[in-house]
Homo-oligomer: A and B are copies of this chain.
Amino acid sequence: MTHGLHLLLELNGCPFEVLNDEAAVRVALRDAATAAGATWLGEVSHAFDPAGVTAIGLLAQSHISIHTWPEIGYAAVDVFTCGDPTMPEAACNHLIRTLRSSTHSLVRVPRAIGPSNDKVSEQQRN
C-alpha cells in the first residue's frame, strides 16, 4: 500500500481583482503544480457571473483545484498527490504568495492508496 496526501487550503484576504481573473488563476494553478514537481495533464475552468472563478488541473499525481469568492477575498484550494514524489506544500505556498492571501489555514489529510484495514467506515474530521 502506498500513500497519498490531500491538502485542503483556505485562503483569505486576497484582492478581488486577483481572484476574479480567470486567466491569471489558471496560470497560478499551473505554476503551483510546477512548483510541486507535478506533471500537468490538462485543465478545465469556469468564470462565474458576477464574480468567481473555478479551475482544476489534472496531474499525473492526481489533481489541484481552486474555487474563488472574490467578493469576500476567499479561495478554497485542494492539492491531492500520490505516487511519484512531489512537494504539494510547495504548490500551496506558491498560491498563498501569488493570490496575495493575508491569512490562510491548511489541513493535511493522509490517504491510503489501496487496501487498508478499514472496512466500511465513516468519520467526520472537525
**Could you tell me which residues of chain A, from 4 to 52, have a CB within 8 Å of some CB in chain B?**
4, 6, 8, 10, 12-13, 41-46, 48
CA distance A122 to B44 in the complex (A): 28
Check A76 for interface membership: any CB of B closer than 8 A: yes
> Could you list some 29 contacts between A and B, CB below 8 A?
A4-B76, A6-B8, A12-B115, A12-B116, A13-B115, A41-B44, A41-B54, A42-B44, A44-B56, A44-B58, A54-B58, A54-B63, A56-B56, A56-B63, A56-B65, A62-B67, A62-B76, A72-B113, A76-B113, A103-B119, A104-B121, A105-B116, A106-B121, A107-B122, A107-B123, A107-B125, A108-B122, A108-B123, A108-B125
